[in-house]
Amino acid sequence: MPAPRTVPILVVGSIALDTVRSPHGEVRGALGGSAIYFAIAASYFTRVNLVGVVGEDFPDEGIRILTRRGVNLEGLTRASGKTFAWSAAYNEDFSERTTLETTLNVFETFHPRIPAAYRRSPYVFLANINPELQAEVLEQIERPRLVVCDTMNLWIDFQRAELLRVLSRVDMAFFNADEARQITGEHNLIRAAAAIKRFGPRRVIVKKGEHGVLMSTGRSVFSLPAYPLDEVRDPTGAGDAFAGGFLGALARSPRADEDGCRRSLLYGTVLASFTVEGFGVEGIKSLTPRAIAKRYASLVDHARIPGQDGDLGVFSLPDS
């Protein structure tokens, strides 16, 4: 069997030390940030070129986790000062998250510099950072095959024009349900996804947490349920790991077409499910291909519609 096509991914985003409290426990100063969750999840599928900044306090253990996952750290800058720190608490049923503190530290003056060796990465993921920085990345990369971005409520509120400019230049965009509603003013997510598509991206992926994910090309819509978990420990980073599993799998797909994207969304779902089962990156930092493949098969079974091929399962309905 020939080796599958696989292309490296450049990811630019936040690297943080997270303090998170959930009904199931607490971690302090743990490895986190959008680029980290993405990079670890994608590393199971392809080569990941990371760009980000850490401070002098960034623990060696963080570097070790990324190195063990084979993540390319040439683009990781260590600046004088402290690492971006974030702390948050989830309520009893995980329906609400309260951000307790966001201290930008070295992230405040960060401007992404893409190493020469990274500039031709065929796939690029602009993780959730200020859209001005996302635009700076777009200026430095050369003929990417696929550019995907993520964002958050803060930028929709305060950097809308910059965000819309980025959206006009990407191939695919990730939003969670609230953000998709916020940026479009449409409550119905089918309409919201279609409206986002008109901003530029040809595929829009709306993450709905426990309710799964929706992918719209404007013409067609695909929905996939979440992996059924009866316990969640820490949802932090699930969206970023989702994107990492998705884009990693897409980088190994024969084609980045509808079917390739649908299958890759399953991998995103699998990586997100492992993420929420542990605190921080515990759930994804040392997976095996076997564990990923097993959960993928289990997700397929969970969402399987019988009689799908040929026989659509359409009964001959009584005439009436």
Asked whether position 37 contacts a copy of itself by CB under 8 A, the answer is no
Q: In this chain, which of 102, 191, 200, 217 binds a copy of itself, going by CB under 8 A? A: 191
Minimum distance between the CB of residue 93 and a copy of itself, rounded to whole angstroms? 4
Give the interface segment with a copy of itself, choosing from 41-49, 59-67, 106-114, 140-148 (CB under 8 A).
Answer: 41-49
Instruction: Give the single-character DSSP code of 202.
Output: S
Size of the site for a copy of itself (CB under 8 A): 69
Smallest separation (angstroms) from a copy of itself to the CB of 44: 6
Report the C-alpha gap between 258 and 252 in whole angstroms: 14
Contact window for a copy of itself (CB under 8 A) among 118-126, 144-152, 234-242, 304-312:
304-312
We find the least distance from the C-beta atom of residue 64 to a copy of itself, in angstroms, to be 15
Q: Are 242 and 209 in contact (CB under 8 A)?
A: no
> Rule CB under 8 A: is residue 300 a binding residue for a copy of itself?
yes
Q: In what order do the strands lie in the sheet with 172-176?
A: 72-78, 48-54, 9-12, 123-126, 146-149, 172-176, 203-207, 213-216, 221-224
Binders of a copy of itself among 226-245, rule CB under 8 A? 226, 228-232
Q: Report helix, strand or coil for 183.
A: helix
Structure tokens belonging to residue 305: 């519609």
From the CB of 96, what's the least distance to a copy of itself, in Å? 12
* Residue 25 lies near a copy of itself (rule: CB under 8 A): no
| Contact predicate 142/169, CB 8 Å | no
Site membership for a copy of itself, residue 69 (CB under 8 A) = yes
| By the rule CB under 8 A, 64 interacts with a copy of itself | no
- Burial pattern 91-113, b for ≥16 Cβ within 10 A else e, equals eeebeeeeeeeeeebbbeebebe
CA distance 251 to 19: 32
Residue from 197, 207, 252, 285 binding a copy of itself (CB under 8 A): 252
Give min distance, CB of 173 to a copy of itself, in A: 18
Q: Does 289 bind a copy of itself (CB under 8 A)?
A: yes
As a whole number of angstroms, the distance between CA 224 and CA 207 comes to 10
DSSP state of 304: P
Per-residue x/- marks for a copy of itself, 92-131, CB under 8 A? xxxx------------------------------------
10 pairs with which residues across the strands?
Answer: 49, 124
Distance of alpha carbon 56 from the chain centroid: 27
Does 319 bind a copy of itself (CB under 8 A)? Our answer is yes
The first and second tokens of residue 38, run together, are: 């993405």
Strand 97-103: give its sheet, edge to edge.
25-32, 16-22, 85-90, 97-103
Structure tokens at 266: 């399953």
Binding residue (CB under 8 A) for a copy of itself from 225, 235, 277, 282: 225
Sketch the per residue contact string, 194 through 223, with a copy of itself: x for CB under 8 A, - otherwise: x-------------x-xxx-x-----xxxx
Residue ranges binding a copy of itself (CB under 8 A): 1, 4, 6, 43-46, 69-70, 92-95, 187-191, 194, 208, 210-212, 214, 220-226, 228-232, 249, 252-253, 258-259, 262-263, 266, 288-289, 292-293, 296-297, 300-309, 312-320
